[in-house]
Chains A and B, each alone.
Chain A
Amino acid sequence: MKKILILLISLTAFHVKAQKTDIAAEDLNGIRAIGSPANPKVKVYWNKYSDHAEIHRISSDLAKAYPDLVKLQSIGKSVEGRDIWLMSITDFKTGEADRKPGFYIDGNIHANELQGTEVALYTAWYLAENFHTVDFIRELLRDKVFYIAPTISPDSREYFIKQANNPNSSRTGRMPMDDDGDGLIDEDLLDDLDGDGNIVMMRRKSPTGRYKVDCDNPQRMVLAKADEPGEYEMLGYEGIDNDGDGRVNEDAVGTYDPNRDWGWNWQPDYIQRGALYYPGMLPETKAVKKFILEHPNIAGAQSYHNYGGMFLRGPGAADDEKYYSRADVQVYDYIGKLGEKMVPGYNYFVIHKDLYTVFGGEIDWLALGKGIFTFSNELMTSYKLFNQKSSEGRFQNTEFEDFDKLLLFGDGYVKWKPFKHPQFGDIEIGGPKKNYIRNHPGFLLMEDSHRNMAFTILHAHQMPKLEVVETRKKDLGGGLTEITATVMNRRIIPTHSAHDVRYKIERPDYISLKGASVLAGMIVENEDFGVTKEQKMQPEKIAVENIPGMGFVKVRWIVKGKTDTASVEVDSAKGGLVSQKLQ
């Protein structure tokens, strides 16, 4: 007895020691700020944006530093041949990775919306760097797997970062197109007149102009009052009529929308601007679809966008409202409402009601095409500037101008300056830099990355966790035994959404009795009143349509002969694999 005890103690000690070696010394003393690793193996500055090389650097360094936690793969190539990187993050030493409930994260489908990538990278980094120190993360990665694609528009992201753009340009991909039907491709692009990397606005002094300078804020142009003359005319974004057709910047590269290229309620361009010939024309969206279809274990998903501070759920179009049943909405409500507390200034919204109608969007395909509980966070909101909601609309208030003056010391704008334009003559150019307004200023980026990651972890944590909570045997005499098993889902997301059950999107869950000779099998619908439903074919493998969130199913078998080596196995596409020896 003593010996065993000593052995046990030494084993435990060894275990603790082994664990300690994975924790940096700085994480065990006061250097560690709560919530952040003090000396991470992979060093990242979280107050800047990553180009394609840096995305690959962070991802591959994580895979190298944590080979048992992070695996990196390319799921396909972009139009211009860049890899679409995806990290699988889980405790690879426990269980089969692709059979655990999976959570898919992508960012930056709209390439000018940079910070989705940063939140995704931060999440990967945080999970790996905190696995050894935070129990919750260790359990999370034991039970679930994360699939993280930091950017699914790598070409346009690189273009946005490296070339001249404005906050709204480079939303498209880089597939060449003839936008104006003149048979020429991409012949009239934006032009960075002053070569500063930012495409800003053009204005010209004009006796017929309707605009004037805001007297309180010279950076700002406002409409003159109805009965008052203006001083300036606005000439749009920096550019030249390159092809001499009398129009400026009308044929840019692409100008389609990768987030209108998905196979749920897809509509053509004249109904949904930005759509192409059919959903799935782009190599980037094709690669993602292929990955999702090959991973039926994905039970939750997040696609990061900017901006406006929103947790968006579907549907994108009002006529798809019928696919959202009460049971499914309750799951979204739980996560969305908690989110409003976790990320101050963000609102839980429904796309078509609170934002605008979207046909053929990614999250509708995930949620309704594949039955995956999906959110899309619109990162960044002007609330973050002064930690309050402005009482005025965006075009009346001066929050961004004030924030620029008081906290960024003028770094947010290109000041108006004169320019000699080949077609417009003497003009002035100025306006917000491409990384201002929509993308976070550096010092806000890490905080918002963490808060949004926490929201997504809340979502991921609520993916099904199945457990065989009880098995009971009853001797029926004559060599027959009745075995009843209760399988519980410990989280609020069901193995099949109500929508999934209705349209049979994913196969049923199977609860099997292994290692025994099964005579009959049934679902127990009400144990107290003995209501059961027999399954005539393959009674050892009971098919159940769903294991509800925080709910259970009960199944029963009548078994002939021995049962001592029998075990119950639960096999759910989205709920994972669980098995339990008979007690």
Chain B
Amino acid sequence: MRIKLLFLGMFAIMTQTLAQSGYSSHSQLSTRLKALPAKSKLASVNSIGKSSGGKDIWAVTLSGGDHSKNKAVLIVAGADGRHPAGTEMAAKLAERLVSLPADSLTGLLQNKTIYIIPGLNPDALEQVSAQLKYERSGNAAARDDDRDGKTDEDPFEDLNGDGLITRLRIEDPTGNYVISKDDARVLVKADAAKGENGRYLLITEGTDNDKDGRFNEDGAGGVNIDKNFTYNYPMFEKEAGEYQASEPETRAFLDFLYKNTNIHTVFHFGLSNNLSEATRFDRANASKRIISGLQEKDAEVTDRVSKMYGKAGITDAPVLPQTPGNLTQTAYYHAGRFSYSTPGWWIPKAKDQKGGAPAKKPEAGNAEAEYLKWADAKGVNSFVPWTRVEHTDFPGKSVEVGGLMPYALNNPPVQFLDSAVIRHQAFFTDYLKAMPRTEIVNTKVESLGNGVSRVSVTVVNKGLLPTYPEIGERVRFVYKVSCKIKLSEGQTLISGKLNNYRGALDAGESEEYSWLISGKGKVTVEGGSPTSGISNLELTLK
């Protein structure tokens, strides 16, 4: 018993020393994902491409039947390497889904496919288990980040030998930072409006190897995939890459998205949020030549989905705006799919104690202080206390190493993700139920005599969401709602078109089609769209 307690105690200490403990590296993730098909015959795992460092990018497919024939949602994570929590949540979700009782998984996946790409940036993910930990966002592409003609010449240095890259604070008359009033461990920018004068310089841990006056500005870690997508691309920005979609990871994802024309919605566990609070419709932005606002109908749908998200018990999400060149906006504006992002996990809002004095809240925007308050309460030690070091670039100055551990802010110890995963699973279950469902109804064959028949059908969307977003109407690679008739030998079409195409069908919307056909025998009618399901039926003309 005593041994058990001791063991537990040790475990507790371990989890407390490394904030990011429990995160899978890319190779560990690969092992976890490859184990999925053994748990359910509805699961398969494939590589959709290789990273710039030559690592496989895995896609898990969960589908009842032929995955490409079913309407689908795509869940993706880890585009920005600073967010292993997203990867962990996506992987946990896949693990939970395959562990469902066989009949409930089959029910969930009836005519539907879930694709999950948990780690879109494997090179960056590998960093969570590296000897030296720093928040690496980029892939393995060798980039001259500061464009000085030298590649990766000014990386971080672990000055205090703790295996973590934190920060340096230097007492210096030119410093812009002061000690936060909320938390003495945290530095905040001096606010002249409040009569504050800066006291510290605050930089990342390391030395100025190339003596250009900038610290650690060009280390290993090339392109942040969540900055390399095609929409609103930040050309010439650090970590954005050579040009739009220059990176193999970006291309692998876009190829997968565009070629799987059945993908209706993309969910991204990432460092932006348009899910908890829907983006508002803005007519001016929506009608520009280069469209930069949600289309009107899409804004309305997005609002509904946002409410669905709240109903699943997912609340208090932080405001995290969309960033240039990111996956989520590209999937909507360029690929024409519904596209949502959420960090998935965040610090729960501090609840006021009943009857007691209201809890003292850190000043809004002081994310570090808020985080530390939560971490202290949970016993998560994710702070390296400031300690003095000698630093050759600052001779004779007070230089201290310390600060939040890398990854800490957005990536809690993995066990804290569990409840978020459960809630998101509930949300995805609701979402799958709401997906569009095109059906052929009210079928009629009327004989007009002399071997002429009129065939009429109605294509209706019985789901709660449109067949595809309004923006999809413009996108060449989003296949439109169609209703087609195939005739047999000896039949001729007197009126009507063989192939009819139309725009998206909203929830409950329908359209009737009819044909005049001369001749007897079988005809086949096919209706729907890849994102809402395509159904077939055979009729006989007498």
Measured CB to CB, the residues of A under 8 A from B are 179, 181-183, 244-246, 262-264, 266-271, 277-280, 293, 365, 369, 503-505, 507-508, 510, 536-537, 543
A246 CB contacts on chain B under 8 angstroms:
497-499
B290 CB contacts on chain A under 8 angstroms:
267, 271
Judged by a CB distance under 8 angstroms, whether B230 is at the interface is yes
A-B contact pairs, 20 of them (CB 8 A): A183-B479, A244-B498, A263-B245, A264-B243, A266-B230, A267-B290, A268-B230, A268-B475, A271-B289, A271-B290, A277-B255, A277-B335, A278-B244, A278-B250, A279-B243, A280-B251, A369-B243, A504-B146, A504-B147, A504-B148
From known contacts A267-B290, A278-B254, infer whether A537 and B212 are also in contact, taking CB-CB under 8 Å.
yes
Contact A182–B475 (Cβ < 8 Å): no
What is the minimal beta-carbon distance from B268 to any residue of chain A, in angstroms?
A: 17
B254 CB contacts on chain A under 8 angstroms:
277-278
B147 CB contacts on chain A under 8 angstroms:
504-505, 507
From known contacts A504-B147, A536-B211, infer whether A268 and B334 are also in contact, taking CB-CB under 8 Å.
yes
What is the minimal beta-carbon distance from B173 to any residue of chain A, in angstroms?
A: 21
Judged by a CB distance under 8 angstroms, whether B506 is at the interface is no
Size class of the B contact interface (CB-based, 8 Å): 35 or more
- A434-B476 Cα distance, complex, nearest whole Å: 29
A279 CB contacts on chain B under 8 angstroms:
230, 243-245
Q: Tell me what chain B mostly uses at the interface: helix, strand, loop, or mixed.
A: loop
- A183-B499 Cα distance, complex, nearest whole Å: 12
Contact A263–B250 (Cβ < 8 Å): no
A-B CB proximity, top 4 nearest? A263-B243, A507-B149, A278-B245, A270-B474
B233 CB contacts on chain A under 8 angstroms:
266
Q: For residue A323, which residue of chain B has the nearest CB?
A: B235
A182 CB contacts on chain B under 8 angstroms:
482, 484, 499
- A269-B333 Cα distance, complex, nearest whole Å: 11
Q: Give 8 new A-B contacts, CB below 8 A, not counting A505-B236, A507-B148.
A: A179-B476, A182-B499, A266-B243, A278-B230, A280-B243, A280-B246, A369-B243, A537-B210
What is the minimal beta-carbon distance from A497 to any residue of chain B, in angstroms?
A: 14
Judged by a CB distance under 8 angstroms, whether B258 is at the interface is yes
From known contacts A279-B244, A365-B243, infer whether A264 and B476 are also in contact, taking CB-CB under 8 Å.
no
Residue of B244, B258, B474, B476 most packed against chain A (CB within 10 A): B476
A537 CB contacts on chain B under 8 angstroms:
210-212
Q: For residue A504, which residue of chain B has the nearest CB?
A: B147
Interface residues of B in 74-115 (CB under 8 A from A): none
Contact A181–B243 (Cβ < 8 Å): no
- A41-B333 Cα distance, complex, nearest whole Å: 56
Contact A245–B498 (Cβ < 8 Å): yes
A264 CB contacts on chain B under 8 angstroms:
235, 243
A271 CB contacts on chain B under 8 angstroms:
289-291
What is the minimal beta-carbon distance from A565 to any residue of chain B, in angstroms?
A: 27
- Flag B274-302 by CB within 8 Å of A: 1 or 0 each: 00000000000000011100000000000
Interface residues of B in 105-140 (CB under 8 A from A): none
Contact A508–B334 (Cβ < 8 Å): no
From known contacts A266-B230, A537-B210, infer whether A181 and B501 are also in contact, taking CB-CB under 8 Å.
yes
Contact B245–A280 (Cβ < 8 Å): yes
- A369-B241 Cα distance, complex, nearest whole Å: 11
Judged by a CB distance under 8 angstroms, whether B363 is at the interface is no
Interface residues of B in 453-481 (CB under 8 A from A): 474-477, 479-480
What is the minimal beta-carbon distance from B289 to any residue of chain A, in angstroms?
A: 6
Contact B498–A181 (Cβ < 8 Å): no
What is the minimal beta-carbon distance from B314 to any residue of chain A, in angstroms?
A: 32
- A377-B516 Cα distance, complex, nearest whole Å: 55
Q: For residue B529, which residue of chain A has the nearest CB?
A: A181
What is the minimal beta-carbon distance from B349 to any residue of chain A, in angstroms?
A: 39
What is the minimal beta-carbon distance from A573 to any residue of chain B, in angstroms?
A: 8
B244 CB contacts on chain A under 8 angstroms:
263, 266, 278-279
Q: For residue A273, which residue of chain B has the nearest CB?
A: B476
Contact A503–B236 (Cβ < 8 Å): yes
B144 CB contacts on chain A under 8 angstroms:
507
Judged by a CB distance under 8 angstroms, whether B316 is at the interface is no
What is the minimal beta-carbon distance from A240 to any residue of chain B, in angstroms?
A: 15
Contact A277–B477 (Cβ < 8 Å): yes
Judged by a CB distance under 8 angstroms, whether B242 is at the interface is yes
- Flag B137-176 by CB within 8 Å of A: 1 or 0 each: 0000000101111000000000000000000000000000
From known contacts A181-B501, A503-B236, infer whether A508 and B148 are also in contact, taking CB-CB under 8 Å.
yes
Q: For residue A510, which residue of chain B has the nearest CB?
A: B149
B499 CB contacts on chain A under 8 angstroms:
182, 245-246
A179 CB contacts on chain B under 8 angstroms:
476
- A269-B478 Cα distance, complex, nearest whole Å: 11
B211 CB contacts on chain A under 8 angstroms:
536-537
- A266-B330 Cα distance, complex, nearest whole Å: 12
Contact B475–A269 (Cβ < 8 Å): yes
Interface residues of B in 228-254 (CB under 8 A from A): 230, 233, 235-236, 242-246, 250-251, 254
Q: For residue B259, which residue of chain A has the nearest CB?
A: A277
A277 CB contacts on chain B under 8 angstroms:
245, 254-255, 258, 335, 477
Contact B497–A245 (Cβ < 8 Å): yes
- A213-B240 Cα distance, complex, nearest whole Å: 58
Interface residues of B in 50-95 (CB under 8 A from A): none
From known contacts A268-B334, A293-B242, infer whether A181 and B148 are also in contact, taking CB-CB under 8 Å.
no
What is the minimal beta-carbon distance from A186 to any residue of chain B, in angstroms?
A: 15
- CB-contact partner of A270 in B146, B149, B255, B476, under 8 A: B476
What is the minimal beta-carbon distance from A257 to any residue of chain B, in angstroms?
A: 12
A266 CB contacts on chain B under 8 angstroms:
230, 233, 243-244
A369 CB contacts on chain B under 8 angstroms:
235, 242-243
Contact B479–A181 (Cβ < 8 Å): yes
B148 CB contacts on chain A under 8 angstroms:
504, 507-508, 543
- A176-B498 Cα distance, complex, nearest whole Å: 24
- A266-B258 Cα distance, complex, nearest whole Å: 17
- A293-B289 Cα distance, complex, nearest whole Å: 31
Residue of B212, B243, B246, B474 most packed against chain A (CB within 10 A): B243
What is the minimal beta-carbon distance from B233 to any residue of chain A, in angstroms?
A: 8
Interface residues of B in 313-356 (CB under 8 A from A): 333-335
- A536-B230 Cα distance, complex, nearest whole Å: 40
- A507-B218 Cα distance, complex, nearest whole Å: 14
A507 CB contacts on chain B under 8 angstroms:
144, 147-149
B480 CB contacts on chain A under 8 angstroms:
181
What is the minimal beta-carbon distance from B426 to any residue of chain A, in angstroms?
A: 33
What is the minimal beta-carbon distance from A185 to any residue of chain B, in angstroms?
A: 13
Q: For residue B241, which residue of chain A has the nearest CB?
A: A263
B212 CB contacts on chain A under 8 angstroms:
537
- A458-B520 Cα distance, complex, nearest whole Å: 74
- A246-B485 Cα distance, complex, nearest whole Å: 13
B250 CB contacts on chain A under 8 angstroms:
278
What is the minimal beta-carbon distance from B511 to any residue of chain A, in angstroms?
A: 17
What is the minimal beta-carbon distance from B230 to any residue of chain A, in angstroms?
A: 5
B236 CB contacts on chain A under 8 angstroms:
503-505
What is the minimal beta-carbon distance from A322 to any residue of chain B, in angstroms?
A: 12
- A268-B290 Cα distance, complex, nearest whole Å: 9
Q: For residue A508, which residue of chain B has the nearest CB?
A: B149
Q: For residue A274, which residue of chain B has the nearest CB?
A: B476
- CB-contact partner of A263 in B246, B258, B484, under 8 A: B246
What is the minimal beta-carbon distance from B210 to any residue of chain A, in angstroms?
A: 7
- A271-B210 Cα distance, complex, nearest whole Å: 44
- A95-B124 Cα distance, complex, nearest whole Å: 42
- A179-B212 Cα distance, complex, nearest whole Å: 53
What is the minimal beta-carbon distance from B71 to any residue of chain A, in angstroms?
A: 16
- A257-B527 Cα distance, complex, nearest whole Å: 31
Contact A269–B476 (Cβ < 8 Å): yes
Q: For residue A179, which residue of chain B has the nearest CB?
A: B476
- A187-B467 Cα distance, complex, nearest whole Å: 26
Residue of B210, B244, B245, B335 most packed against chain A (CB within 10 A): B244
B333 CB contacts on chain A under 8 angstroms:
268
- A505-B255 Cα distance, complex, nearest whole Å: 29
Residue of A262, A264, A267, A508 most packed against chain B (CB within 10 A): A267
What is the minimal beta-carbon distance from A547 to any residue of chain B, in angstroms?
A: 15
